[in-house]
Structure 1
Amino acid sequence: MKWSGKVRKKQLKQIRALTFGEALFDIIKGSAHLGGAPLNLAAHLAKLGAKPAVLTAVGKDKLGEVLLARAEEMGVDTSYIVIDEHRPTGTVTVELKNEGIPVFSINEGVAWDAITPDERKFEALAREDWDVFCFGTLAQRSEENRKTLKRLLSEIKAKHFFYDVNLRARFYRKEWISFSLEHCTILKMNEEEAAAISSMLFGTVHTCRTICRLLTDKYPKISLICITKGPEGAAVYHKGVYEEVGTTPIEVADTVGAGDAFSAGFLYTYLSGYGVSKAASIASILGTYVASKPGAVPEYSGELMKKLEMG
């Protein structure tokens, strides 16, 4: 069910988004759920009414077939996805700790470690006028993907470049993060990631407000920062103004995909012409809802859509 709330009514054209990176299956309590932050983000954007495409890779196997079919069913453009004949479709085992906090065991040597589009796909991507190009850190663990990302950032046309820090296990390096910060216009991270970046780049853990100021001073392309804070809501920083947005207490099922839902809600609302406060409010509502449900991309309820309309 797609959202048809007030934010969508203001939209003058359909938002075109491209997400880049991992697409996989999360194995949670023995059940397989479609996953990977770029695919989750694209799926939520489609549910909200955008026109997203995902650039990733899947294996030439049964899981790959299912992933492609599910993504298409959710309204995600899969025409840029690479089919890898040598590597399997990615899987991640997710163990839920206290309060539904996930711990990820991420398999290596899988299809999304080699997102290498042919020239025809690169040319098609470069011809598009994207509203936003979205990328993260995890997919940069392979040299092939880092080369692809660098080319995409130099060739595609997009109004905004959205970087979701999304640190996972040992799969990040300071140079990958610095490169990403140099090329993004919108930055999103959670509170723990903000602390890690503060320590990594500035030698100590600053407050979120100070981190935002330091990052925008150091990386002038960044015009907007979102920091999610779990049950405490989120903070946004734009044009020197730091603002916190609360959220409603919930019973957490699992937090897998909640950050991606937040990103989708924020981007969809902001790119529809609303201010950062409205966008953060909608994002918090959607992220909280997803945390209350199992899986990264649950069905949207009628109650949720009413909340979004009032958001």
Structure 2
Amino acid sequence: MSIDTRDFRNALGKFATGVTVITTQDERGEQYGVTASSFNAVSMTPPLILWSIDKSAYSKEVYCQAEHFVVNVLASDQVAISNRFAQRGEDKFKDIKIEKGVGGSARIVGAVAHFECRTWQVYEGGDHFIIVGEVLEYDYQDGCGSLVFHGGRYALPEPHPMMLPGIDHSTGDGVLGQHFLYLLRQSLAAYRRDFYPRLSHLGVDEKEWRVLTLLLDRGPQPFTQVAQGVAQPPEDCEDTLSGLVRRDLVTESSGERQLALSAAGTELANKLLKMAQEHEQKVFDSVSDEEMRHMKSGLVHVIEQLGSR
């Protein structure tokens, strides 16, 4: 069976994971850090965990030879830290508060959990090295949300509405059925289920749709702004862009790496936008223009009200 790497990555993205930064220190005292979602528990007795590093990573030798490392489980407000450690070519620890952990490895302040480990074993794993660590020390914060990665994007963990105790779970009646957040989440899920499959008719997936329409709406953008605008980690945004560039829908300029739509990309993005507008009109066909304006202005008010805090 021949595996399409991009499609395989999409399938793996259906499994939600946390986001970590793995840190270590080499024998010269230089600090290293890399973003990884491949973190898993292995054993309770002894306490073992594992993670994996790409064999193409420039720091692979350091991690494979390190005696100790720290797994920093990132908090939901540490997206910028995740993006920082997912890239190369900069001082990753600049302006980031750290503490010294086992073997001098950095403990990132504000992370929801730290696992300070001794390297137990390193295994071959295809195009990755699998690193198993014995947990020597750990700590965690209660009441602080973790950063989640799902479907190629950052996400937030929330209690499932159907599992909240003491509430009528019917959609039309009871407290939950009329709660703003519940209605918003249910309507968003329903809208996505109906709209996203339509993208395949024009040969794109939901991640490519977000990049194309963002560039159409805002014009040429640096890569970092595109990744931030579509809420994708840089590595996954790279994967999305590679397909768009290969199909001559997006162009890249050298230097600051400015991304822009090609002529074919602009044509496709306009078609996608028109399809999105027509879909919206169909969904809200029975809603008056005035009601639609009130609905959208209400959502803008919520964004502004909560975003200002």
Shorter-chain TM range is under 0.3
Rg larger in structure: 2
| Bigger RCO (CA 8 Å, 6+ sep) | 1
TM score, norm. by length of structure 1: 0.22
